[in-house]
Each structure stands twice: as structure tokens, then as C-alpha cells.
Amino acid sequence: EAGVAQSPRYKIIEKRQSVAFWCNPISGHATLYWYQQILGQGPKLLIQFQNNGVVDDSQLPKDRFSAERLKGVDSTLKIQPAKLEDSAVYLCASSSSTSGSAPRGGEQYFGPGTRLTVT
Amino acid sequence: SQKIEQNSEALNIQEGKTATLTCNYTNYSPAYLQWYRQDPGRGPVFLLLIRENEKEKRKERLKVTFDTTLKQSLFHITASQPADSATYLCALRGGFKTIFGAGTRLFVKA
């Protein structure tokens, strides 16, 4: 079974520029997550999709970050304009948890991440 | 607010010994608790999941305990090997929300 794919693996941009990341989840996984992981910290959820609908985007800085998951499969995360504090690894994950009234354990499968450096 | 605490200091142990990592949480009632392993430059890898009504879970050399009264989970690696050296993250899941701790770095010396 193929894992979660992400691209690019590395990106260096200047502040105020824009950047986009792409994620292709494991086939059949309905739930897709984008996380931001700053060095020395745990992953912080930015946005969670169930199929192509947003379940949780409470920690997404909506003035500069946007994400979409068209057709309920792959997803893009965009930052515009970038700030120095956006330097981090952006992780995509997927899980097969359902949207029913009894969510399952929700074990997540992560991609390799995109390391973003904003200068 | 919800808070997860893992030992911020690295854990150094000798090969063959048992490593024990701690995860404490406050202001949260998770239905599940998960443990992940993360190697440098890679995404986390799921290891084990334990439910709120389970006390203990085992998988090969791994053992997880979950005490909802103490709000604590312990993660044990028995007969540790240098290949077990990594950062271990605990994550709490309640409803559809998952929050991660900052992780504990484990170094196993040969």
C-alpha cells in the first residue's frame, strides 16, 4: 500500500512570498490533516478534512493560510504572504476514521513533510 | 486549556534495558491515547493505540499503560536497541480532535 505523498520536500522562500504544498493521502482514507511542526515541538493541527469538507480549522491563520481538498482526495495548503515564523515542517496525514457518531481510534499515517524556510 | 506534557529532557539508556517514557495531560478526557515514533527528517509513525477503558496494551517489545484517574500514560520499550533511538510522541484523541505532545527523545547506547 502506498503511503502519504507530499511535495515538495524542501522549500526556501523570502518573507511576503507565497508557497503551496501538495498532499496525496493513502487511497480510501476519508480524513486528511495538515500539521505544522516547529523544531522541538509536536505537530500542531492546522486543518482537518473529512472527505472534501472541513471538520476543524480553528488553528489555521486564515488571514494568510488556506487549504482545499477538491474531490475529497488530494489537498493543497497555501501560505500567502509568508512570515519568518512560518518556518517549520508541514506534515500531511490521513486516516480512515469515519464521520459517524462513534469515531474510531483515528491512528494517522503521515507523509515525509515539507521543510519550509522563510528568509 | 488542554495540555500534554512529555519529558522535555532526553532519555539516555543502555542497550538491553527497559525505556519508560511518560505522558501526562490536563483538562482533557481523551477516548484514545496514541503513541508515535518520529525519526529526524521524517513524519511520525503510528505505534500503538489504547482506549480509555483499557489499562494496558502490548505489541512485541512495546507496552503502553493508560491511567485516566492519574491522567497519565506510560510507554515502555523492553530489551531496547540502538535502533529504538528516536523521538516518541504521545497524542490524545477525543471526538474527532487529536492533540500531540512535544515528544521525548530517546537515545539507546550500545
| Phi-psi map region of A19: left, alpha, beta (phi>0 left; psi -120 to 50 alpha) | beta
Give the pLDDT of residue A102.
40
Give the pLDDT of residue B2.
78
Taking alpha carbons only, the member of A24, A45, A51, A17 closest to residue A33 is A45
Q: What angle do CA A67, A68, A69 make, to 5 degrees?
A: 140
Round to whole Å and give the CA distance between B72 and B53.
Answer: 13
Q: Does A36 touch chain B (CB under 8 A)?
A: no
Q: What angle do CA A52, A54, A57 make, to 5 degrees?
A: 145
Residues in A 59-118 with any Cβ partner in B closer than 8 A: 91, 93, 97, 99, 103, 105-113, 115
As a dihedral over the C-alpha atoms of residue A97, residue A91, residue B97, residue B86, rounded to 10 degrees, the angle is 100
> How close, in Å, is residue B50 to chain A by CA atoms?
8
SS3 at position B29: coil
A4, A10, A37: which to substitute to probe chain B, counting the most B Cβ within 10 Å?
A37
Give the pLDDT of residue A1.
65
CA distances from B48 to A45, A61, A116, B34, B94 (A): 20, 31, 29, 6, 16
The three cell numbers locating residue A92 = 500531511
Give the pLDDT of residue A14.
98
Give the pLDDT of residue B96.
73
Q: In chain A, whose CA is at the least distance from the CA of B96?
A: A103
CA distances from B68 to A84, B58, B89, B98 (A): 40, 18, 18, 17
Give the pLDDT of residue A105.
63
Residues of chain A above pLDDT 70, percent: 92
Give the pLDDT of residue A112.
97
Residue in A41, A56, A108 closest to B97 by CB? A56
With a cut of 70, list the residues of chain A below it in pLDDT: 1, 97-105
Over chain B (110 residues), the average pLDDT of each successive run of 10 is: 86 97 90 94 94 93 95 96 97 85 96
Instruction: Say how many C-beta atoms besides its own lie within 10 A of residue B88's C-beta.
Output: 24
Beta-carbon contacts of residue B76 (< 8 Å; ≥ 6 apart): B18, B19, B20, B21, B62, B63, B64, B65
Q: Give backbone dihedrals phi and psi of A106, rounded to 5 degrees, phi first.
A: 70, 25
The bridge status of strand B62-67 relative to strand B72-77 is antiparallel
Round to whole Å and give the CA distance between A30 and A71.
Answer: 11
